[in-house]
């Protein structure tokens, strides 16, 4: 039994959130297996028969495009004895054939082949033995989400205000859509998944954890994240409701977008599509957006990350660069190559965060100190009329919002 | 058969020296082995496509930054630092021109930090160019890790 009221207060969470296997189990059941979870981008399965395998919480699923173009999220589990029907990470096939006894499913999960069917008698019901589908699947601008719960709020209701920020990020594509075909940076770390989420929304740590990365960036490029992540910089932390949050540097745009010829052409194409005012807002946007429970966007480094909880003390992260459809090739390419500088397991930035997570995981074994504090900026945060909460970039506003949503999902059994 | 500009024995000795410099943390001397236009590349899932996501894709200035990082007391992922042992084998040499060779080798890297020892296996490709009195210098070091498609933890030491 987990008493969430004893684990989460407004300004703090209990150490058990990171260390207790029972909490992890409950997170999988109550959060990941009920809410909307991102499963992939439509461009990853552009052609009929294209598929990729992924996870919703602990459960293996296949994101697949059927011959009629429809998109399906299938549970990756043979209805006969339970083996994965698809082992490959991605590919193209009109069928999934289980390697164990040869049962065959098509790309929308129908059972279309059973060897020696006579052995099952006349009442054998193939229709009942289709691969289970995620009860709800929905897309927003090419981003496919699934929910393992047959009921609940719609994807758009779930996204809520995060949708405005996602629009701001995706409108940077001259054609209005992005493509996810440039591979993926992967890394893992031996600590709890929420340490990564907190960190992606944390404008307090960079000047300490990333001091050396900032020094190097300043010496090479004349700029770094140092000023932006200083208290009072003008950058903001935001809690957007439903657990979503953002660090918003737009007011002091850090100038990642270079002003060369390719950029000028790109800006013109945006102005044609969006008008000068919206184009200026889109180009000025510098946002790190978190979509509860495990999807994170950073438009300045043109990528998103999916955080995969594996065990209480084991997490995998997949960072996907995206390209802006209709943007100049050189602009897109620069971003794909630049990602390894920050987000690979050998990068100049993220590995120092991972060291912090691992130290937290070890430090949180101490039982005489029970609480992890998220009190920063509580007294000075502003609540907007629509419920959004805004604070200084160094304040723990988004983490507080994330844990209130965490608490609601966990309590609502 | 034309004579190779560099024998297998010479190529092996060169790679052994590089391994020693890495394992003895003589990083500045390691940098001196490279040309000014060198690339240090550790591919991700696709070892044939430099435009795809890589684990490392450094030009020479970025290699220097990487060494600077390894020397900094506030590079927390290397505090304490990794100790490494590079074991080199299966050395093959191919002439690319009278002044350029390609060395293929395999490398098993043992790394230990905080009491945990890990092993990484890789196929390596070194492109060497003879640069006047400086002798042979590396213009490309490519390290194709066996487990490049797995989510890996902390590769902030030099491979």
ipTM of the complex, rounded to two decimals: 0.95
pLDDT band for position B3 (cuts 50, 70, 90): confident
The domains of chain A, with CATH numbers, are 36-147 (2.102.10.10), 160-411 (3.90.380.10)
CA-based Rg of chain A, rounded to a whole angstrom? 22
Among B65, B73, B141, B147, the strongest candidate for a mutation testing the A interface, having the largest count of A CBs within 10 A, is: B65
Among A207, A307, A340, the strongest candidate for a mutation testing the B interface, having the largest count of B CBs within 10 A, is: A340
Strands, E, within B18-157: which ranges?
34-43, 54-59, 83-97, 100-113, 116-130, 136-145
A376: Cβ contacts below 8 Å, ≥ 6 apart: A204, A394, A395, A396
For residue A275, the model assigns a pLDDT of: 95
Is residue B2 situated within a structural domain?
Answer: no
Number of residues that this document lists for chain B? 159
Q: What range does the domain containing B24 cover?
A: 8-145
- Do B47 and A190 form a contact (C-beta atoms < 8 A)? no
Is residue B38 situated within a structural domain?
Answer: yes
* Cβ within 8 Å, pair A185-B77: no
Is residue B123 situated within a structural domain?
Answer: yes
Alpha-carbon gap, residue A400 to A396, rounded angstroms: 6
Longest dimension (CA), chain A: 76
For tokens 């001196």, the residue is B32
The CATH number given to whatever domain includes residue B75 is 3.10.450.50
Smallest Cβ distance to A183: which of B52, B151, B152? B52
Alpha-carbon gap, residue A166 to A160, rounded angstroms: 10
Alpha-carbon gap, residue A55 to A59, rounded angstroms: 5
Mean pLDDT, rounded, for A245-267? 82
pLDDT band for position B4 (cuts 50, 70, 90): confident
Alpha-carbon gap, residue A143 to A282, rounded angstroms: 19
Q: Which two tokens stand for residue B45?
A: 């899932």
Is residue B153 situated within a structural domain?
Answer: no
For B153, the closest chain A residue by CA position comes to A188
Is residue B150 situated within a structural domain?
Answer: no
Give the residue among A75, A49, A43, A77 at the shortest CA–CA distance from A64.
A49
pLDDT band for position A255 (cuts 50, 70, 90): low
Is residue B83 situated within a structural domain?
Answer: yes
Enclosing H/E stretch for A173 = none
- Do A33 and A59 form a contact (C-beta atoms < 8 A)? yes
Ranges A184-188, A224-228, A328-332, B42-46: which has the least confidence: A328-332
Domain count, chain B: 1
Flag whether pLDDT at A205 surpasses 70. yes
Which residues does A contribute to its contact with B (CB < 8 Å)? 89, 182-190, 209, 211-213, 216, 220, 316-318, 321, 333, 336-337, 339-341, 344-348, 351-352, 354-356
pLDDT band for position A258 (cuts 50, 70, 90): low
Strand B34-43, strand B136-145: pairing? parallel
Mean pLDDT, rounded, for A171-176? 95
Mean pLDDT, rounded, for A317-326? 95
Flag whether pLDDT at B1 surpasses 60. no
Q: Which has more pLDDT, A339 or A247?
A: A247
* Cβ within 8 Å, pair A212-B74: yes
Alpha-carbon gap, residue A256 to A223, rounded angstroms: 9
For residue B2, the model assigns a pLDDT of: 61
- Give tens-digit pLDDT for B22-33: 999 999 999 999
3-state SS class at A149: coil
Alpha-carbon gap, residue A4 to A23, rounded angstroms: 10
Smallest Cβ distance to B151: which of A183, A187, A213? A187
Alpha-carbon gap, residue A278 to A6, rounded angstroms: 45
Is residue B157 situated within a structural domain?
Answer: no
Quickly list DSSP for A368-396.
Answer: S--EEE--TTTTT-EE-TTS-EEEETTS-
The pTM of this model reads 0.95
For residue A335, the model assigns a pLDDT of: 75
For A217, the closest chain B residue by CA position comes to B65
Is residue B25 situated within a structural domain?
Answer: yes
- Give tens-digit pLDDT for B100-142: 999 999 999 999 999 999 999 999 999 999 998 889 999 999 9
Residue-wise over A243-272: b if at least 16 C-beta within 10 A, else e?
bbbbbbbbebebeebeeeebbeebbebbbe
Smallest Cβ distance to B52: which of A182, A213, A346? A182
């Amino acid at each position: 039994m987990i008493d969430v009221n004893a684990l989460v207060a407004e300004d703090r969470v209990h150490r058990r959130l990171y260390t207790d296997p029972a909490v992890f189990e409950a997170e999988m059941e109550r959060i990941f297996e009920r809410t909307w979870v991102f499963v992939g981008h439509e461009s990853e399965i552009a052609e009929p028969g294209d598929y990729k395998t992924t996870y919703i919480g602990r459960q293996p699923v296949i994101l697949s495009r059927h011959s009629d173009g429809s998109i399906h999220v299938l549970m990756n589990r043979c209805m006969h004895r339970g083996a994965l029907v698809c082992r490959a990470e991605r590919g193209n096939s009109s069928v999934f054939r289980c390697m164990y006894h040869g049962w065959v499913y098509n790309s929308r999960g129908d059972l279309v082949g059973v060897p020696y069917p006579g052995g099952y008698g006349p009442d054998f019901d193939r229709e009942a033995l289709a691969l289970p589908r995620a009860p709800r699947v929905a897309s927003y601008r090419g981003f496919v989400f699934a929910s393992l719960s047959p009921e609940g709020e719609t994807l758009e209701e779930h996204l809520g205000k995060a949708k405005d920020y996602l629009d701001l990020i995706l409108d940077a594509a001259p054609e209005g859509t992005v493509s996810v075909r440039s591979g993926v940076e992967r890394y893992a770390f031996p600590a709890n998944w929420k340490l990564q989420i907190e960190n992606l929304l944390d404008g307090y740590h960079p000047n300490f954890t990333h001091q050396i990365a900032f020094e190097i960036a300043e010496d090479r490029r004349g700029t770094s994240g140092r000023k932006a992540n200083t208290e009072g910089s003008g950058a903001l932390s935001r809690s957007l409701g439903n657990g979503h949050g953002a660090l918003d540097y737009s007011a002091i745009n850090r100038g990642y977008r270079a002003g060369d010829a390719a950029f000028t052409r790109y800006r013109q194409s945006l102005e044609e599509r969006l008008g000068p005012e919206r184009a200026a807002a889109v180009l000025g946007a510098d946002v790190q957006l978190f979509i509860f429970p495990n999807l994170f966007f950073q438009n300045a480094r043109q990528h998103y990350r999916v955080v995969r909880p594996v065990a209480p003390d084991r997490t995998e992260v997949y960072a996907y660069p995206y390209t802006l459809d209709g943007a100049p090739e050189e602009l897109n390419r620069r971003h794909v190559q630049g990602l390894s500088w920050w987000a690979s397991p050998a990068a100049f930035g993220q590995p120092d965060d991972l060291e912090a997570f691992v130290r937290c995981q070890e430090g949180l074994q101490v039982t005489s100190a029970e609480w992890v504090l998220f009190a920063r900026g509580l007294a000075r945060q502003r609540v907007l009329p629509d419920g959004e909460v805004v604070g200084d970039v160094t304040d723990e506003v988004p983490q507080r919002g994330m844990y209130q949503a965490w608490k609601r999902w966990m309590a609502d059994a | 058969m034309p004579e190779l500009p560099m024998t297998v024995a010479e190529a092996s000795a060169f790679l052994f020296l590089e391994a020693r410099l890495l394992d003895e943390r003589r990083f500045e001397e390691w940098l001196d082995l490279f040309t000014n236009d060198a690339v240090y590349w550790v591919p991700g899932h696709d070892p044939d496509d430099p435009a795809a996501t890589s684990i490392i894709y450094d030009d020479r200035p970025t290699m220097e930054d990487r060494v600077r990082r390894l020397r900094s007391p506030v590079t927390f992922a290397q505090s304490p630092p990794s100790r490494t042992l590079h074991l080199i084998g299966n050395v093959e040499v191919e002439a690319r021109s009278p002044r350029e060779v390609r060395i293929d080798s395999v490398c098993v890297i043992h790394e230990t930090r905080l009491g945990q020892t890990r092993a990484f296996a890789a196929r390596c490709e070194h492109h060497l160019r003879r640069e006047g009195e400086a002798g042979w210098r590396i213009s490309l070091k490519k390290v194709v890790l066996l487990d490049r498609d797995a989510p890996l933890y902390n590769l902030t030491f030099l491979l």
